[in-house]
Structure 1
Amino acid sequence: MLKKLLFVSILFSGLSLVLVACGSSTASTSSTANTANISGPQIHMGKNTFTQASIAIKKGESLTVVSDTSNQHVIANGTWENDTAKPAREPGAPAVKDIKVEGNTITKLGPFTTAGTFKLYCPLHHNMNLTVIVQ
């Protein structure tokens, strides 16, 4: 019985390490929304909206997304249009595909290396759109 318990503990420890090691090249997440040490542009998310509809950033910058609630969000390239989710990626936009943002976390998107206007949205929350203007 002790051997089985030890085996299960080692198995779960190994799985935990694998999950922590997996990540995305377009986003990084920290566990708490402490924005005191964040430099650069940031946008906040509420329960089911971005706190502002658009943000202007400089070419080459990354965008920090801060979740201020415990709600789960997903960020992806695209927009809500006429009550319909429209996944799409503009030329030059960084690939943002189904980045999960759990409650009270900080996620970096980018860098945005091309000037232009790029649409991001949360497919989970109706009409939750963000326009990123890169200058």
Structure 2
Amino acid sequence: MSRKVLVILMLCSLITLLLVACGSVGSATSIERNTVHMNDTNFVQTSITIKKGERLKLISDTLTPHIIANGTWESGTAQLARESGAPQVKDVQVDGYSSQTFGPFTTAGTFKLYCTVHAGMNLTVVVQ
């Protein structure tokens, strides 16, 4: 009888371990997929598509700091914006060789982020 109980406990432990491992992989993949890198003066990619409810991670790959806000650069002029459905981002500093996570983006649509320090540094976030 005690042998059966031991086998059942071992099987339950194995199943629990597998469920936890599978859950961790899914969440790590989501944030990795929703990552945009920044160099000294630009976003490495200028657009990203994410799913509704997900977050966006910006990573600075150089020593140069960035200050991120809702809006865009248009013809050399910063255009601050407050977009309905986008998380409010106002003067969030991303220091060199660090990262910041924004969101969640809870509404489908197209949203703009820009670096207030570097003219022309725009990012379009498409939320599906």
Query: TM-score under structure 1 normalisation?
Result: 0.71
Which residue matches 2:56?
63
Pick one of 92, 115, 118 that aligns with 2:108.
115
Distance 1:123 1:61 in 2: 24
Which residue matches 1:77?
70
Which residue matches 1:97?
90
Distance 2:90 2:97 in 1: 20
Which residue matches 1:14?
none
Which residue matches 1:33?
none
Structure 1: runs of 5 or more not aligned: 1-36
**What's the CA shift for 1:39?**
4.2
Report the identity percentage. Answer: 59
Structure 1 pair 65–54 and aligned structure 2 pair: CA distance change class (3 A): same
Distance 2:29 2:70 in 1: 23
Larger helix share, 1 or 2: 2
**What's the CA shift for 1:106?**
1.5
Distance 1:106 1:100 in 2: 9
Distance 2:29 2:74 in 1: 32
Counterpart check, 1:128 vs 2:111: no
Deviations 1:75-107 (A, max 9, x none): 000000011000002111110010000000021
Question: For the aligned residues, what is the CA RMSD?
Answer: 1.1
Runs of 4 or more above 4 Å deviation: none
Deviations 1:54-81 (A, max 9, x none): 0000000000111100001000000000
**Computing the radius of gyration over CA atoms, which structure comes out larger, 1 or 2?**
2
Counterpart check, 1:54 vs 2:47: yes
Distance 2:30 2:127 in 1: 17
Structure 2: runs of 5 or more not aligned: 1-27
Distance 2:116 2:104 in 1: 22
Query: TM-score under structure 2 normalisation?
Result: 0.75
